[in-house]
Amino acid sequence: MKHYLLKLLLFLSPILLIVGTYVILDPFKVIWHYDNYYANLREVIINRGYVSTQVFDNQNDTCHYDSFILGNSTSLAFHIKEWQQHIGTDTRCFHFDAMSGSVEGLLLKVKHIDKQKNQIKNALILIDHRMLERGNYQSHIYMQPPSLTHNQNFWKFHWVHFVSFLNTKFFKAYIDYRFNGKLKPYMKDILCPRDDIKYDGKTNEIEYVYREKRIADNIYYEPEFIQKLITGQHPDSTDVAHINGEKRKMFTEIANIFKRHHTRVKVVISPFWDQIRLNPTDLKCLQDIFGKENVYNFSGPNKWNADYHNYYDNIHYRPQVATEILNIIYTEGSESSQGPVKSESSEEQ
């Protein structure tokens, strides 16, 4: 019997070693509790939606959040200090975003906030045509956090993360970098050291300070980068309609929760670099659900996406764009849903 158990242990030892390494190192930070998910090593891209949910759950009992910025990674351009100039400095704000967020993700977050008995005084929702198009990604960095699904996807969530750890290229690069601390050429497309952010653990807000420094030093926008941006614009294009019956139902449920809370809600269709216009049918649907006066459409060609200096890449716009948007949507008497803000050149024409 002892001989059999010894053989079994020897057979299982590689598996136990790999599982133990994964659990102890926790590369994606989904096993252990962290006061700061972005402290120390930042070599691995982690599930931002999971981080947002964990930070909210960990701190809500003491912070009692009452105002929320909701959206995907483009929402990070909106800084809470700027937002509070319009909604009041006495508000307790939280940035509840996720990478490549979906309509379902928005609904799950709003339902989660409501379930925690938070007051929802203000909500700023950032939407774009890619969010409307997306379904549920199965990649570990995009999956819905189990706490938002009542743990229905608990095992799948953790299994997908574990399988991602076992990817041969990732495993080799991660272990090498984890113990040597050096980013080698072969790791470039596998790991992504995050030395470019400033993180606020109370509001869950991220600022790309390193990118801003490179822009200030005039070394960020390289010719190849600029050319790639320019060829990625489609000013004569309008997207197909994406809000079907299911998504309309989700948006309606979100709006009904806000109505119960008497939430001051603003829905912003982001000014994507690609200049593709939101489909009029989708815009009308959002207006019907949230109120025409609360929906602001900045899709299509506008003064911001006429200049690549307003963007970090072909998706993410910089904070100065968000500041201008806030000034527009919270200006008394401003007209919503009037279409993209024109550039000076287009106005002259």
- pLDDT, tens digit (0-9, with 9 covering 90-100), for 268-301: 999 999 999 999 999 999 999 999 999 999 999 9
The identity of residue 223, as a single letter, is: P
Model confidence band, residue 93 (pLDDT cutoffs 50, 70, 90) = very high
Work out the average pLDDT over 113-122: 96
pLDDT of residue 341: 58
pLDDT number for residue 314: 87
**Residue 184, pLDDT score:** 85
DSSP string, 92-115: -EEEEE-TT--HHHHHHHHHHHHH
Check whether 264 has a pLDDT greater than 80: yes
pLDDT at 57: 96
Report the candidate in 309, 307, 305 with the shortest Cα–Cα distance to residue 212.
Answer: 309
Of 81-95, 110-124, 167-181, the poorest mean pLDDT is in: 167-181
Q: Of 294, 206, 14, 241, nearest to 129 (Cα)? A: 241
Mean pLDDT of 158-171: 94
pLDDT bracket for residue 133 (50, 70, 90): confident
Do 340 and 297 contact (CB within 8 A), yes or no? yes
Closest to 105 measured CA to CA, from 45, 46, 164, 149: 149
Cα distances (angstroms) measured from residue 66 to each of 31, 55, 63, 95, 150 = 28, 15, 9, 11, 22
Report CA torsion sign: 245, 248, 250, 256. negative
| pLDDT higher than 60, residue 44 | yes
Q: Residues 241-259: pLDDT tens digits? A: 999 999 999 999 999 999 9
| Range ranked top by mean pLDDT from 193-202, 221-230, 284-293, 328-337 | 284-293
**Cα(133)–Cα(129) distance, integer angstroms:** 6
The whole-number pLDDT of residue 4 equals 61
Strands 67-71, 93-97: pairing is: parallel
Beta strands in the chain (DSSP E): 67-71, 93-97, 122-127, 198-200, 205-207, 264-269, 295-297
**Whole-number pLDDT of residue 192:** 73
Mean pLDDT of all residues in 182-203? 81
pLDDT above 70 coverage of the chain, percent: 88
Most trustworthy range by pLDDT among 83-92, 99-108, 198-207: 83-92
Rounded to 5 degrees, φ, ψ at 71 are: 165, -160
To the nearest whole number, what is the mean pLDDT of the chain?
88
Q: Check whether 41 has a pLDDT greater than 70.
A: no
At residue 126, does pLDDT exceed 50?
A: yes
Collapsed DSSP state (helix, strand, coil) of residue 44: coil
**How would residue 130 be classed by pLDDT, with cut points 50, 70 and 90?**
confident
Q: In the prediction, which pLDDT does 178 show?
A: 85
User: Is the separation of the CB atoms in 296 and 337 below 8 Å?
Assistant: yes
Q: Do 112 and 90 touch, CB atoms closer than 8 A?
A: no
pLDDT digits (tens, 9 = 90+) for 296-337: 999 999 999 999 999 998 889 999 999 999 999 998 655 555
**Looking at per-residue confidence, does 128 or 322 come out higher?**
322
Give the pLDDT score at 5: 63
229 alpha carbon, distance to own chain's centre: 21
Tokens of 63: 């912070």
Q: What is the mean pLDDT of residues 82-100?
A: 95
Which single residue is written with the structure tokens 């609360």? Answer: 294
More confident residue, 166 or 139: 166
Domain ranges of the chain: 33-348
Confidence (pLDDT) at 38: 85
Residues in the chain: 349
Q: Is the pTM of this model over 0.75?
A: yes
Dump the DSSP string for 167-236: -HHHHHHHHHHHHH----GGGTTT-----S-EEETTTTEEE-HHHHHHHHTT-S--HHHHHHHHTT--TT
Please determine, for residue 348, whether its predicted confidence score (pLDDT) is greater than 60.
no
